[in-house]
């Protein structure tokens, strides 16, 4: 089968890699680029363990061809650093074996980026594409709610009282 060298933009870096046109993104990430955060679960698009972001949207890397992602920005769990959802998964004990966790984190991270206000219905509907075999979905839902609060706290404008103080001095 013919192979070709392509440049993929992954976690903010350009990576040159030789692929076959039939290679899935998951095979390339794990087997050729050493990015093993995205996990093979079903390899059939059903479990969500392999979820990564393409631009800002979550996709299942096991059913996407690597060649389709040329020209797009791929983000894997290795590309996230100290995000609210990572902190919240730890704080809420939202995992046991952890196999599904990178996929949940990537999907929930996209949810938090795309929705300022997140209600219960949205959380349930958004996370329907991911399956966990061993922990409770309650903790995962709580992690998303906690992450939304953390995100809002980080982005809230700080109250700068210096002007008021100066104005009061001038009075």
Return residues touching ligand FES (CB under 6 A): 40-43, 45-50, 60, 62, 95-101, 132-135
Q: Please, what is the minimum distance in Å from the beta carbon of residue 72 to ligand FES? A: 18
Q: Write out the two tokens for 115.
A: 């929705």
In the bound state with ligand FES, the residue whose beta carbon lies nearer, of 100 and 110, is: 100
- Where b means 16+ CB within 10 Å and e means fewer, 84-105 reads bbbebbeebebbeeebbbbbbb
Of 83 and 95, CB closest to ligand FES: 95
CA 74 distance to own-chain centroid: 10
Distance of closest approach, residue 66 Cβ to ligand FES, in angstroms: 14
The SS3 assignment for 59 reads: strand
Residues in the chain: 171
CB of 40 to ligand FES, least distance (A): 5
Give 69 or 157: the residue with its C-beta nearer to ligand FES: 69
Nearer Cβ to ligand FES, position 25 or 148?
A: 25
Q: Please report how close the Cβ of residue 92 comes to ligand FES at its closest, in angstroms.
A: 12
Nearer to ligand FES, 124 or 170 (CB): 124
CB of 51 to ligand FES, least distance (A): 7
Residue 9 burial (C-beta neighbours within 10 Å; 0-12, 13-18, 19+): middle
| Distance separating alpha carbons of residues 65 and 19, to the nearest angstrom | 10
């Amino acid at each position: 089968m013919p192979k070709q060298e392509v440049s993929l933009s992954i976690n903010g870096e350009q990576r040159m890699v030789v692929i076959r046109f039939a290679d899935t993104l998951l095979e390339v990430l794990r087997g050729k680029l050493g990015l093993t955060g995205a996990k093979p679960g079903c390899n059939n698009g059903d479990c969500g363990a392999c979820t990564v972001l393409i631009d800002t949207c979550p996709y299942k890397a096991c059913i996407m061809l690597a060649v389709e992602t040329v020209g797009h920005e791929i983000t894997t769990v290795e590309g996230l650093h100290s995000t609210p959802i990572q902190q919240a998964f730890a704080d809420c004990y939202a995992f046991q074996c952890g196999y599904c966790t990178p996929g949940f984190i990537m999907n929930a991270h996209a949810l938090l980026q795309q929705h300022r206000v997140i209600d219960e219905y949205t959380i349930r509907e958004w996370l329907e594409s991911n399956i966990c075999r061993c922990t409770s979905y309650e903790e995962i839902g709580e992690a998303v709610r906690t992450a939304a609060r953390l995100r809002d706290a980080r982005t809230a404008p700080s109250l700068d009282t210096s002007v008021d103080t100066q104005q009061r001095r001038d009075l």
